[in-house]
Chains A and B, each alone.
Chain A
Amino acid sequence: MSAERKKKWRVVAEKQQTLPPEQRERVQQRMENWSRLSPDERKKARAGYEEIKQLPPEKRAVAPQKWDEYRNLPPEKREELRKKAAAERDAPKK
């Protein structure tokens, strides 16, 4: 583990003590999986988080339910949405 990541984990460990118990437990559960992600995947997750953060508050509040809805979509529909996202990403910006 690089010195930078060590520092980062130290800060995460320090800061999570200030979180409410429920959130702290969630952090601890997800930490292991997060540490297994590649730098590129972590970068994508940060970008996805920034995107969700910019949603209007009422939409942001229902995002977890939307995730459940999304997961219950037929696989073809999810694949279609992914392709659409990729096409939007690759499309030249106006």
Chain B
Amino acid sequence: MKKEYVHLLDHEVDQAGKRLRPLLDKAAADASPSISANLAAARAAAVARVAALEAERSAASTVVANGSTLAVNGGGLRERISDWRFWATGIVVAGLVASYAFSQYRESNVAREAAEVELMILGDDVPVDALLDKGFSSYLREENK
């Protein structure tokens, strides 16, 4: 024989439950002491099982949370600090930064010194044409002899 399933909507289930409740309440009230005891034990067992399931779920989520915390803040960092590659990378990066900073500093100094000399040349009372004319320096040397 083939079973037939009837799918009820939520509100239909609610309505059916409401209609059944008085009948079940009456049946429970009229139940014998042994049935009442069995029901109470079954209820207690079900409650205990739900409590155990909740405790298990809560513990699992704590482990996951702690695990991720350790990975980020605890063990991960400690592992990185003790790893030579961490330090090697740090030294290489620091070296590159220092080298770049030094080259910038040196470039800036060279530019400053060159600018100072150029400024003196441009502001001098001897014109630039005279500085470029080698004959003039020879003339000055002759005059100094």
Contact = CB atoms under 8 A, between A and B. Distances in A.
Interface residues of A, number: 49
Contacts, number: 131
Given A45-B121, A55-B144, A84 B137 contact: no
Contacts of A44: 131-132, 134
B12 interface: no
A34 B118 contact: yes
A45 to B, nearest CB: 4
Q: What does DSSP make chain A's interface, helix, strand, loop or mixed?
A: helix
Interface residues on B, range: 20 to 34
Contacts of B78: none
A8 B125 CA distance: 22
B126 A52 contact: yes
Interface of A: 3-4, 7-12, 15-16, 19, 23-24, 26-27, 30-31, 33-34, 37, 41-42, 44-46, 48-49, 51-52, 55-56, 59, 63-64, 66-67, 69-70, 73, 78-82, 84-86, 88-89
23 contacts: A7-B108, A7-B111, A15-B115, A15-B116, A19-B123, A23-B123, A27-B119, A30-B122, A41-B132, A42-B118, A45-B121, A45-B128, A48-B136, A49-B117, A49-B121, A63-B126, A64-B126, A66-B143, A69-B139, A70-B133, A78-B133, A82-B134, A84-B138
